Amino acid sequence: MRLIVNGANHEVTAPAHETLVTTLRERLHLTGTKLVCGRGECGACTVLLDGVSVYSCLTLTAACGEQAITTIEGIGRADDLHQVQAAFVEHDALQCGYCTPGQILAAVALLDEIGNPTEADVVRGMSGNLCRCGAYPNIVRAVLSAAESRERPSA
Amino acid sequence: MTKRFVTTKVEVEGRVETKIAELPSRNPEPWTDATELHVVGQRVTRMDAIEKVTGSARYTADIQLPGMLYAALLRVPVPRGRVTSLDLAPALALPGVRGAISLDDLPEIKIDGVRMFGREIVYAHQAIAAIAADTMEIAERALHTVVCEIEPSAHVLTADTALEADAPKLRKHGNAPRNTPRIITRGDVDHGLFDADVTITREYRTPCALHTALEPHGAVAEWNGNAVTVWESTQGVFNTRSDVADAFGLSLTQVRVIKNYMGGGFGAKNGASHATYAAVALSRRLGRPVRCVLDRKGEQTDAGNRPATIQRVTIGAKRDGTLTAIKLDAEIPLGAGGWLGGPGRIYHELYRCANVHTTERFAYVNSAPMASFRAPGHTEGNFGLERAMDALARELDIDPVELRRRNYAEVDQERRRQYSSKQLDECYRLGAERFGWSQRTPDTRGTGRIRRGVGMSSVIWGAGGGPPAYATVRINRDGTIEVLTGAQDLGTGARTVMSQVAAEVLGANVSDVRTILGDTERLPFASNSWGSITTASVAPAVRVAAEEARDALFDAAAGMMDAEPQDLEARDSEIHVKSSDKCMCFADICEKLGDVMIIGQGSRGPNPENTAIPACAAQFAEVEVDVETGHVRVTRVVSVHDSGRIVNPTLAESQVEGGVLQGIGYALFEERVLDARLGLPLNPTMHDYKVPTIADVPAIDVVFVDAPDVVANHTGIKGLAEPPIIGVAAAVANAVTDALGVEMNEIPLTPWRVRAAVTRA
């Protein structure tokens, strides 16, 4: 089948029961997406499917044909960071970094949905993503700051 | 000839060990309060943040090698018994399965005292075999085809039952580890209790908590001839190298261990694990690289835990609050193995008291072995002692902060040592002020459905670090700098702070300095990143190495600039001749040097003699309790820390916030639950084992005393990683007690426990 990942087409032969996180990590070598719980409890495997955040550990690859899949590798590059990535760096919204790709994709989806979120919106929108290092206070700051910088794109 | 090697004491997680230190080539003057520093103390951006936000940071679980196989561990669903038969043939017959190993395919390896893949089962989910296949899915499916017969036998889960004479035995000599019960005593506690005007006796209980690092334990092993390279999610590459070499009879040159990024450790990843040995053994047998990474259930059931405790505490005091006696009788079920980190030590350290007696009854039981978990022992002990101090304050009607101040310990009484510096009194002062402690009144508690309360707790933790640790500083021909040291960055920021120290000494832009960690083949030794020791151990070695490199660079520059080295100074990667406008940048100097590589070497010198080096904290919490649902919400925390000089306030604040949140998890949610009859873990998932989410975060105010400890070492740095978790549970439980007027003596403070307390009241 054809998968569209970060704008590129991939021919993939995967069994019908294979989950997207496995396809991304093991077949396409896109290891930025992390597998942590494998059952939709932690959010580390979050990717975007047509712009909507999904847990890739609960998403069947076979169900993703013709939809645009965005992983952390497609969000921004080291020399061209997405606003959310830049805000995570600036606010130190990470420690070990293992949950970070999932956090960032959840934040991108949240900001696409709610352009100008309140702190309560951020807490609700990010509550499906666990961080054991406890970077949460800085994650809230980073997402609010990214929202602000989107409001003022010329800044 | 000067003496080059000396012995010194190093404290790691409450254990004071004698180590040999190699005296550094120089002994720099301490950086004091008056020293003008330009990079150390600054909010430098975390230097590996870009890799982490772009997903390019490669963790052990992300390593993919050509031809790599995937290994899964076979675990047994009984807590005790004997494997009478094990047939791996059906698994090996499956397409895509490439190999399997069990007991006979391994050298004799013991992990936490339990034989790896042993046929004697001593805890549920113990591993007995490993299967390697082309994909993880095939390996996992193959596990289900193995035919295995197990003869179950009676198990024991609690310390009191395990220590009974007729209990099922986990070790030949019985269930009490050697040298236990551990009794530590000073003075005469009975005499102290006789002298007391007031005595309180309480029982406190703390749960078994799971580290729940997001990246599970795991390794990738690849053999090349007679040597093996192991990528490992570990807090100690050198420890892991020794473990693998010992197990497989290899020399240290035949084992290379690499840890680049890791997704959390929190104490549980201090050496080779089942996954490591399985990957190494399978890779050798099959001639292909093998990745063995635990699944979540494996991580939650067989990768370490903070053991539960029962602490029976008696404290005696005079009317004015002066402590006359502290007595602890504790039970600690360690699991099937582990070490004796216990709750007792903090009872000896935190307060001035002539008569202290602690009895710690450790026991082996049929559950997974414990492992160090962020301030092992002290976090548990702090809950008992600081809850008891709170009860005593109520009994005496003395303000809890004042009671603690009246019993301030000026020296380390247990080991009769001076403190290098101890700013706990300043932590109390700053914390009370920032929290508004004196403004609290009974009226603020409320009488309706939502009750409010406040509580506090004090923290002490040996955090001086020490030798041995080495660093090399190299200056490249483009003027950039590399710091090489075999330490690990767990997400703590070690990469960043070591670069800051080198940049400070060299007068370099910090962005020109890259720190390389976690590779036994390329880097000089540094110890495990545990016990809050990394920065205080390694930064002094980096400073010495950078000074050596700086002197060489100045010598080279002096020739080029027609000046004397002592007339030079460096700033922003440029060297200036003092009181002149002559200036050369590092890049130009090094370009002229061609391929001459300036190299500085540094070692960590000994610790001061007969001196305890404590990190301290005062932690204040405010809670809201819903008396109808029993739900507790922590609304505000003030955490004030003395960790000596703070190298990077941003990273330090992040670390404290994280520690406070793990403390809140311990106080409110986290508890591994075992089925008493079956001995099986009932909540081995992230849904059922609750860790804090973003919605549980209170306002956290992090404050540093930030006073360099010039006695500890010449950088003035002390450790920070563990203190932030230590006092939180007691502060929160003290606050809930304040809110409800009912003592909360068992954590986690789940809704049903709180409701039960409200009903009792």
Q: Do B295 and A41 touch (CB under 8 A)?
A: no
ipTM for the whole predicted complex goes beyond 0.90: yes
> Where do the domains of chain B lie?
5-59+465-603, 63-153+212-301, 154-210+305-409, 416-463+610-761
Q: Do A123 and B685 touch (CB under 8 A)?
A: no
User: Are B535 and B497 contacting, i.e. CB atoms less than 8 angstroms apart?
Assistant: yes
Q: Do A136 and B64 touch (CB under 8 A)?
A: no
Question: From the CB of residue B687, how many other CB atoms can be counted at a distance below 10 Å?
Answer: 11
**Span B681-734, pLDDT tens digits:** 999 999 999 999 999 999 999 999 999 999 999 999 999 999 999 999 999 999
- Single-letter amino acid, residue B412: D
Q: Mean of the pLDDT values across residues B450-464?
A: 97
Q: Do B52 and A35 touch (CB under 8 A)?
A: no
Flag whether residue A139 sits within 8 Å of chain B, measured between CB atoms.
yes
Q: Which domains does chain A have, with CATH numbers?
A: 2-74 (3.10.20.30), 83-151 (1.10.150.120)
Between CA B42 and CA B594, with CA B498 as vertex, the angle to 5 degrees is: 110
**Span B466-517, pLDDT tens digits:** 999 999 999 999 999 999 999 999 999 999 999 999 999 999 999 999 999 9
User: Are B324 and B192 contacting, i.e. CB atoms less than 8 angstroms apart?
Assistant: yes
Question: Chain A partners of B658 at a C-beta cutoff of 8 Å?
Answer: 95, 133-135
Band (B2; pLDDT cuts 50, 70, 90): low
- Provide the CATH number for the domain formed by B63-153+212-301 in this structure: 3.30.365.10
pLDDT higher than 80, residue B1: no
Q: Is A83 helix (H, G, I), strand (E, B) or coil?
A: helix
Of A31, A75, A85, the CB nearest to B58: A31
Flag whether residue B62 sits within 8 Å of chain A, measured between CB atoms.
yes
Q: Which CATH architecture has domain B5-59+465-603?
A: 2-Layer Sandwich (3.30)
Q: Do A137 and B700 touch (CB under 8 A)?
A: yes
The DSSP code sequence of B67-99 is T-EEEEEEE-S-SSEEEEEEE-HHHHTSTTEEE
Cα separation, B34 vs B277, in Å, equals 51
pLDDT higher than 60, residue B405: yes
Band (B442; pLDDT cuts 50, 70, 90): confident
Are domains B154-210+305-409 and B416-463+610-761 of this chain identical in fold? Answer: yes
pLDDT higher than 50, residue A155: no
**For the whole model, what pTM was predicted?**
0.97
Flag whether residue A134 sits within 8 Å of chain B, measured between CB atoms.
yes
- Provide the CATH number for the domain formed by B416-463+610-761 in this structure: 3.30.365.10
Question: From the CB of residue B154, how many other CB atoms can be counted at a distance below 10 Å?
Answer: 11
**Span B307-363, pLDDT tens digits:** 999 999 999 999 999 999 999 999 999 999 999 999 999 999 999 999 999 999 999
Cα separation, B103 vs B5, in Å, equals 43
Band (B178; pLDDT cuts 50, 70, 90): confident
Q: Quick one: A153 exposed, middle or buried, by C-beta within 10 A (0-12, 13-18, 19+)?
A: exposed
pLDDT above 90 covers a percentage of chain B that reads: 97
Active site residues of B: 722
Question: Chain B partners of A137 at a C-beta cutoff of 8 Å?
Answer: 657, 697, 700
- Single-letter amino acid, residue B641: H
Q: Which CATH architecture has domain B154-210+305-409?
A: 2-Layer Sandwich (3.30)
Band (B106; pLDDT cuts 50, 70, 90): very high
In the prediction, which pLDDT does B707 show?
Answer: 96
Mutate to test the interface with A, among B42, B51, B52, B489 (most CBs of A within 10 A): B52
B70: left (phi over 0), alpha (psi -120 to 50) or beta: beta
User: Are B498 and B477 contacting, i.e. CB atoms less than 8 angstroms apart?
Assistant: no
Flag whether residue B295 sits within 8 Å of chain A, measured between CB atoms.
yes
